[in-house]
Amino acid sequence: MRGWLAARSLSRDLPAPVDNHGGWRVDTGGAIERRRYLFATPGPGLTTLLGSIDAPGIFVKLCADAATFRALLPPGWTITDANCMMVPDRPVAAAPVLPMDYRLSVTRRGAVMHAVITTDDGAAAASGYAAQHDGIFVYDRIVVGDAHRRRGLGRALMLALGAQADPAARQVLTATQMGAALYATLGWRVYAPYTTATIG
């Protein structure tokens, strides 16, 4: 979990996670999310942290289902997302295939990769990031525009980014319910639920 969070922070130019309350903290500094915490399991540190937060903008994430997390939350807290963390079970090794009117490019800046799919006229259709850190390779912000879905672009992004991974690295991602269905076709399986809560 810490390795995933560290690589994700690298992908987004955020500070590295630090140990905090038995989990990890990242000071994201955004307008909506000022800080995030990640916990692999519930524990006394999580309970203490939740009780100490009294303002919105701080997101706490736990590898548990929504019902389990909801039972731990103080009054005033809301579950915002109930997603999942996934790892490859039988990764598909194949070259990305695109419809004829699309183009794909991958750029690399240090340990961070950025894949972009555009139409022939240069309009953005899909994009995604990946980063590798300390033996963990993460996929991040995989997005396909509404007008370009169901054409294999998400699959092409994943395959193009995955080709950049060190073969020995452990690959990890978080997914919405919709995304998990796509990743399952690429040989991924659910590793753990991943639920987010905040005040408000």
Residue 164 Rama label (left phi>0; alpha psi -120 to 50; beta): alpha
Say if residues 73 and 50 touch (Cβ distance below 8 Å): yes
Please compute the mean of the pLDDT values over residues 42-69 and round it to a whole number: 97
What does the alpha-carbon distance between residue 173 and residue 176 come to, in Å, rounded to a whole number?
A: 10
3-state helix, strand and coil shares in percent for the chain, rounded to the nearest 5:
25, 40, 35
pLDDT band at 106 (very low <50, low <70, confident <90, very high): very high
What does the alpha-carbon distance between residue 10 and residue 7 come to, in Å, rounded to a whole number?
A: 5
Please compute the mean of the pLDDT values over residues 14-28 and round it to a whole number: 97
| pLDDT(53) > 80 | yes
Q: Which pLDDT tens digit goes with each residue over 63-77?
A: 999 999 999 999 999
| pLDDT(8) > 80 | yes
Beta strands 35-39 and 58-62 are parallel
Q: Which residues contact 75 (CB under 8 A, 6 or more apart)?
A: none
Q: Which pLDDT tens digit goes with each residue over 140-175?
A: 999 999 999 999 999 999 999 999 999 899 999 999
pLDDT given for residue 96 in this prediction:
85
List helix spans (H) across 98-150. Answer: none
Tokens of 1: 């979990």
Q: Which pLDDT tens digit goes with each residue over 184-199?
A: 988 999 999 999 999 9
pLDDT given for residue 95 in this prediction:
80
Is residue 120 exposed (0-12), middle (13-18) or buried (19+ Cβ within 10 Å)? Answer: exposed
160-172 core/surface letters (b: 16 or more CB in 10 A; e: else): bbbebbeeebbbb
- φ and ψ of 75, to 5 deg: -55, 145
pLDDT given for residue 92 in this prediction:
65
Give the three-class secondary structure for 52. helix
| pLDDT(51) > 70 | yes
pLDDT given for residue 135 in this prediction:
95
